[in-house]
Amino acid sequence: MATSTVSTTAVTAAEAMDPAEALMAAVERADAEIVRFLWVDHNGILRGKGVTRELLADRLRTGIGLSAVRQSASLLDRPQPVPGFQVMEEVRVTADPSTFVPLPYAPGSAGLLCDLVNRDGSPWGACPRTFLRDAVARSADLGFDVIAAFEPEFTLLRDGAPLDDSLMLDGEGFDAANDCIVSLIRSLRSAGIAVEQYHPEASPGQHELTLRPAPALRAADQHVWQRAFTRGVARAHGLQASFAPVPLAGLRGNGNHVHISLWRGGNAFCAPGGGLSEVARHFIGGVLAHLPGLTALLCASVNSYERLVPGNWAGTFGCYGPDNRDAAIRVPSPLRGAETATTNIEVKVCDATANPYLALGAILHAGLDGLEHRIDPGEPLTVDPNLLSAAELLRRGVIPLPRSLAEAVEALERDELLMSVLGSPRRELYTTIKRADVRDLGGMDPGDVFALHAQRF
């Protein structure tokens, strides 16, 4: 993984001097009539309000009014009562001009990613993007820049069935989705988002497209755009794209692995002589120490737990290891000649129902906790964990992961660090919403639960 200066914005560097003016010029160039002010709710759903071109300059200054109750919505879109949370509260949807992108799959429309702030402009205690900003600030206090990339898999469906039946990395599998994928890559590029690689994945209709790593906030923003663009471009091609962990019963899951490295001058995860540094080892120690609670934020839906099948490379074993694809944390072997740039860790136990700002922010807080307390991650697992008995896994310190969203939420509530950094009312909103999903979806027909996730994500 390399450092990246790739910008997600269509605003050129020369214009970056005056963000608002540059934005207005970019809106003109994109011929956008509506600019969507977008944010991601606690269930990972992209929400928004659109502003006309004429009103944009005003709303960039004032933000847009929003009832805070929207951030208490469950997956069935029912606001949940949360103790201490005022349903009459108002927040302001405040755009970050640097995130502007035209939406080529929706001609005449463009988008901005937003923070949710209080009426007086101070940060709102349940804004997901602010949570990641805070985690990045904490990393900076310790002297580190954070470089990250989300690596989502998705399923292309036509009339509810997988688009193709190709094999993993199938040479002909490329053809099945070629038109859609090529237009997706072009659309992303036109928005300033650089794609790194693409391949057909293991399951019918499953594909994977990776973006260039970027500073943490931008990486999460890019992931939000990637999801929106993929779904929008697929729709324009008469297809449905779903990032649901398992959109149809029987399919192998869609992961959303998170690659991370900390930088201080150079790559602080890379030891001077090659291999993992002490910084990286302690960071891993922190992530492992908080893994059960983290799972509630990384595998954030009822459907997430359909994906966590041992042997499917979803990272279901609570351990780390070099190139160990069933470990929650894989340490990818660096590329020859690019060792410094490509040393990173990959948190595999994450899917795209996670709110990316909460997911990345929580991983950072856990990892930094490991650094501050010099947590020892133990020995890396260098064998296939599927071949080890339950007793042997225990002996080697492999941490059992929650097996359902209900178990994960309980683990999160037991995790003092994560509860403390989430803060109030974010933690109460999050745990209440997730419990509502467990309750509501538990009463539904299992086929409908798969379909609901396929549709929403």
Binding stretches for ligand GLU (CB under 6 A): 153, 252-253, 255, 307, 312-314, 325, 348
Query: Is the Cβ–Cβ distance between 97 and 112 less than 8 Å?
Result: yes
The residue (of 211 and 412) whose beta carbon lies closer to Mg ion is 211
CB of 256 to ligand GLU, least distance (A): 8
252 binds, among Mg ion, ligand GLU, none (CB under 5 to 8 A by kind): ligand GLU
- Residues 181-220: x where in contact with Mg ion by CB under 5 A, - otherwise, as a string: ---------------------------x------------
Query: Is the Cβ–Cβ distance between 99 and 10 less than 8 Å?
Result: no
The residue (of 105 and 313) whose beta carbon lies closer to ligand GLU is 313
Collapsing DSSP states into helix, strand and coil, what is residue 137?
A: helix
With 0-12 / 13-18 / 19 or more C-beta atoms within 10 angstroms meaning exposed / middle / buried, residue 332 is: middle
* Bridge partner list, 413: none
CB of 201 to Mg ion, least distance (A): 5
CB of 314 to ligand GLU, least distance (A): 4
Give the 3-state DSSP-derived string for 2-37, with helices as H, strands as E and coil as C.
CCCCCCCCCCCHHHHHCHHHHHHHHHHHHCCCEEEE
Place of tokens 């291999």: 275
CB of 208 to Mg ion, least distance (A): 5
Site size for Mg ion, by CB under 5 A? 1
CB of 331 to ligand GLU, least distance (A): 14
**Would you state the torsion angle of the CA atoms of residues 196, 198, 203, 205, taken in this order, to the nearest 10 degrees?**
120
253 binds, among Mg ion, ligand GLU, none (CB under 5 to 8 A by kind): ligand GLU
The residue (of 121 and 311) whose beta carbon lies closer to ligand GLU is 311
CB of 153 to Mg ion, least distance (A): 5
Q: Which of 9, 220, 37, 189 is nearest to 112 (CA)?
A: 37
Distance CA 24, CA 54 (A): 10
CB of 245 to ligand GLU, least distance (A): 7
162 binds, among ligand GLU, Mg ion, none (CB under 5 to 8 A by kind): none
The residue (of 8 and 304) whose beta carbon lies closer to ligand GLU is 304
The residue (of 346 and 415) whose beta carbon lies closer to Mg ion is 346
Phi, psi (rounded to 5 degrees) for 380 = -65, 150
Q: Which of 139, 163, 18, 181 is nearest to 421 (CA)?
A: 139
Distance CA 444, CA 237 (A): 31
CB of 140 to Mg ion, least distance (A): 31
- How many CB atoms are closer than 10 A to CB 432? 20
314 binds, among Mg ion, ligand GLU, none (CB under 5 to 8 A by kind): ligand GLU
Q: Which of 78, 77, 98 is nearest to 7 (CA)?
A: 98
The residue (of 25 and 202) whose beta carbon lies closer to ligand GLU is 202
Residues 66-125 that bind Mg ion (CB under 5 A): none
Residue nearest to Mg ion (CB): 208
The residue (of 41 and 208) whose beta carbon lies closer to Mg ion is 208
Enter the tokens of residue 139: 């990393």
Phi, psi (rounded to 5 degrees) for 94 = -115, 120
Going by the DSSP 8-state scheme, the letter that residue 119 receives in this structure is: T
The residue (of 42 and 330) whose beta carbon lies closer to ligand GLU is 330
325 binds, among Mg ion, ligand GLU, none (CB under 5 to 8 A by kind): ligand GLU
Would you tell me which residues interact with Mg ion (CB under 5 A)? Answer: 208
